[in-house]
Amino acid sequence: MSKLVINESQRHQHRFLLESFQTRTSLSFDNGSWHRESISSTENDNETMTFWGQSLTFDQIEGVIQALSGVLTVNAIRRHPFCTTFGETVLIAEITLNKPDQLTAKLDQVCNVFHIDIAVQQYQPRLDLPGLLVMDMDSTAIQIECIDEIARLAGRGEEVSAVTAKAMRGELDFNESLISRVACLEGVPVAQLEQIRNAMPLTFGIQFLVRELKLRNWRIAVASGGFTYFADYLKERLGLDAAFSNTLETRQGCLTGKVAGDIVNAEVKAQKVDELAQQYAITNSQCIAMGDGANDLAMMARAGFGVACHAKPLVNEKADAAIRFSGLHSLLYLLGQ
């Protein structure tokens, strides 16, 4: 082990941090000093902490380590294999978890203070083994709530948006809230949905995520409380394996204000995780469910690894890991290689 000498200027230089992580070396911070040592393997059975953000520096890393010191101890830190691949600094550390009951709240606080993402995992699904990812659509795979956008066309945008927000926080029964919101859409011409679909903003990083997973023979699906008009389009656009969502009833080219068939709710989403895992012969430890709202919690609990993405506080609290600031591609940082 050798001491790494860092002057005050270098503590704030992103390039210096990257250069300090030489091939097959790790760094540790103890009593105000950094030390470097060789590593023979990146495999370990300990909890790991992955942290990532834009142009991270030693000053920020020291701040994170000190802020988390009451809850966990950060040991050896190394560069993640995807470090800088998507324009972010990604580091992974071996840790000792001292107060697991305080971890979630502390991570949320520290992430917001430093505006970075941090995830602590006892187990990482393997990127190099077959896996399954089931994503929510609205406000996860895409950046909008489609029902709110349709409601704006009907002149009832604010009313429906308020109900959507309550439903996603878990304050309302999903089935009842969906029926009441869809009723507000009566009379909207189906042709007008096309303008929403054509301008549908994908969440940053989804293209990278799908590409990397597909290269490694993963299966990817959308399970959404939204609508087939958008979910089926997203499936085709991204080359996903499946899409499950609700069907808006139409008559004479307009929405009737009703849902046709059974509602895709939280329990149905969870069932789809099981069905797809069985269909593709994927073990539960290799199944990931990702979402942002209360109706995603059941499928996140059913999968071996549940990830919150730009989510409501309740979902961040219940998830195995949370992506707070980065794009969907950062799910790749949480997979073992």
**For residues 224 and 147, what is the distance between their CA atoms, to the nearest angstrom?**
12
State yes or no: is 138 an active-site residue: yes
State yes or no: is 173 an active-site residue: no
Beta strands in the chain (DSSP E): 2-4, 25-30, 33-38, 48-53, 72-79, 89-97, 117-121, 132-135, 219-227, 242-251, 254-260, 287-291, 305-309, 321-323
Q: What is the DSSP string of 33-99?
A: EEEEEE-S-S--SS-EEEEEESS--HHHHHHHHHHHTTTEEEEEEEE-TTTTTTSSEEEEEEEEES-
The dihedral built from the CA positions of residue 67, 68, 70 and 76, taken in this order, carries a sign that is negative
Of the residues 101, 117, 136, 173, which is catalytic?
136
Q: Count Cβ atoms within 10 A of the Cβ of residue 107 and give its class: 0-12 exposed, 13-18 middle, 19 or more buried.
A: buried
Instruction: Please report, in angstroms and rounded to a whole number, the separation of the first and last CA atoms in the chain.
Output: 26
Q: How far is CA 78 from CA 13, 20, 276, 317, 330, in A?
A: 17, 10, 35, 27, 17
Contact 147, 226 (CB under 8 A): yes
Of the residues 117, 138, 292, 296, which is catalytic?
138
**Residues catalogued as catalytic:** 136, 138
